[in-house]
Amino acid sequence: MTDVLVQAAPPAELLASRASDPYPYFRWLREHAPVFAERKRDGRTIWHISRHDDVRALLGDERLSKNPDTVPGYRPGPEGLNKHLVHADPPEHTRLRRLVSTAFLPRRIAALEPFVQHTAEDLLDRLDPDTGVDLIGEFALPLTFTLICTILGVPEHLNTPTTRTMLTNTVVPTAGQRTDARLRTFLTELIAHKRHHPTGELDLLGALVGAREQLTEEELLGTAYLLLLVGHDTTVNLIGNGLLALLRHPDQLQALRADPALIGTGLEELLRYDSPVRDATFRVATEPIRLHGRLIQPGDIVSLLIGSANRDPSHFPDPDRLDLTRNPNDHLAFGRGPHFCIGAALSRMEGALAVNLVLHRLGEIRLAAPDHELRWRPSRVMRGLESLPVTSR
């Protein structure tokens, strides 16, 4: 039996505005229901954890499993593409993580910096902010996707908007079986291509195809899907949310323009202020967990609200203020513990370069749409804009 204590319900207006601005809702949760039970129609319970200390502790808690196979009928991603490190516990997790992590070591990432700089400049030089520009579709998406395709060794002709849309559609709840099937076919063909055109250790997919005896075909497909998706989708949100925060805080934007080195602490603040991954990924309780008087039962799903943890006033003074000099800034935007983000160094480098280059190459820009017209992607895990229209007029 799940805990049936009566709990307060969040005010309807906070629920209604959650997609565009989740922060008032998060504040309400932290103050009134830090361990909040959502009962699903199918009888499942999802617990939403909103305070910084709790999220931090549970991100590394072994009583929470990352393996969705333990929940009958639950499928957190596209069919046939769920076998990867985000959905694995040790020892599978340790094995899969080891196979991919060397490609993302800080020294490998530092070597990619000139390529990122060149690609970003090239994209920005083609834009004319006088006529209006979408910084997501015309800049952040092609930049981040080109980079992850390069790291993985995806042939150039497959680095297309269609491929990107197919991948990102899988984090939108309405995407159905057909999208899943098309994506599986695409990835199967991609792996076959890598087998027929071996690149050895030169790129990550080449290395994974070569490490055949260490991972199953299903794990290979799942890992390719995971890296292609999270390798760009998250960093798009960092660049998009970060630039939006700056455009809404002209004093901070001017400070960064005047001193580009401010991007050091500044990027951490952008990661904290409007975190690209709002809720941590799938977790399920394997043992009873008692927290703030509530009882999480084995089989219950636990959602760790990173976006809320990063605005918790008990940890960050004046948490709703954007302060690019904030230090210390112990945010949880990249998670924590055994599943800590593999791409943290990569996205920090990409994000810092991208934000500074936009400010310097595009000159004085401002938002080209009022707040209520900005469209947020309908995803529970990701926090990001569909588009970011700016203009210099």
The binding site for ligand HEM (CB under 6 A) comprises: 59, 85-86, 97, 226-227, 230-231, 234-235, 238, 276-277, 280-281, 306, 333-335, 339, 341-343, 346-347
State in angstroms the smallest separation of the CB of 235 from ligand HEM.
5
Distance CA 233, CA 251 (A): 28
Nearest to ligand HEM of 227, 385 (CB atom): 227
Nearest to ligand HEM of 11, 60 (CB atom): 60
State in angstroms the smallest separation of the CB of 27 from ligand HEM.
21
Burial class (CB in 10 A: 0-12, 13-18, 19+), 212: exposed
Nearest to ligand HEM of 154, 368 (CB atom): 154
DSSP, residue by residue, 320-377: TS--TT--S----TT--GGG--TTHHHHHHHHHHHHHHHHHHS-S-EESS-GGG--B-
State the residue number with the nearest CB to ligand HEM: 343
Residue type for 133, please?
V
Among residues 39, 21, 30, 63, the alpha carbon closest in space to that of 374 is found at 21
State in angstroms the smallest separation of the CB of 371 from ligand HEM.
23
State in angstroms the smallest separation of the CB of 182 from ligand HEM.
22
Nearest to ligand HEM of 31, 62 (CB atom): 62
State in angstroms the smallest separation of the CB of 4 from ligand HEM.
28
Residues 6+ apart with CB under 8 A from 187: 81, 221, 224, 225
Distance CA 365, CA 289 (A): 49
Nearest to ligand HEM of 64, 362 (CB atom): 64
Nearest to ligand HEM of 342, 365 (CB atom): 342
State in angstroms the smallest separation of the CB of 204 from ligand HEM.
9
Nearest to ligand HEM of 280, 359 (CB atom): 280
State in angstroms the smallest separation of the CB of 151 from ligand HEM.
7
Cβ atoms of 301 and 283 closer than 8 Å: yes
Nearest to ligand HEM of 97, 294 (CB atom): 97
State in angstroms the smallest separation of the CB of 93 from ligand HEM.
6
Among residues 248, 250, 228, the alpha carbon closest in space to that of 240 is found at 248
